[in-house]
């Protein structure tokens, strides 16, 4: 495997705080976590602080949509 190969994980999340643990587990189980990239479509109330730890992951991009618009 060359160092340029990577894995992209796309997750649609409708108001599930366990997404933080799910993303953490993805990186914890990866042999090369630096090659893993995660995109999360987060469908939540933007004022809910349950999801703030998602921003602590380096290779995670988050698109937040209000759950009523999802």
Look at the pTM and tell me if it is higher than 0.85. yes
Query: What tens digit of pLDDT does each residue of 16-37 get?
Result: 999 999 999 999 999 999 999 9
Query: Can you give the pLDDT at residue 20?
Result: 97
The CA distances from residue 62 to 11, 24, 26, in Å, are 10, 14, 15
For residue 31, the 8-state DSSP code is S
Instruction: Determine whether 66 is exposed, middle or buried from the number of CB atoms within 10 Å of its CB (0-12, 13-18, 19+).
Output: exposed
* Closest among 49, 38, 45, 50 to 64, alpha carbons compared: 45
Average pLDDT, rounded, for the chain = 94
Query: Can you give the pLDDT at residue 1?
Result: 52
């Amino acid at each position: 495997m060359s160092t340029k190969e990577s894995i992209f994980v796309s997750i649609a999340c409708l108001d599930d705080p366990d997404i933080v643990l799910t993303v953490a587990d993805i990186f914890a189980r990866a042999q090369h976590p630096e090659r893993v990239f995660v995109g999360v479509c987060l469908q939540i109330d933007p004022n809910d602080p349950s999801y703030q730890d998602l921003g602590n992951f380096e290779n995670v991009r988050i698109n937040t949509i209000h759950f009523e618009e999802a």
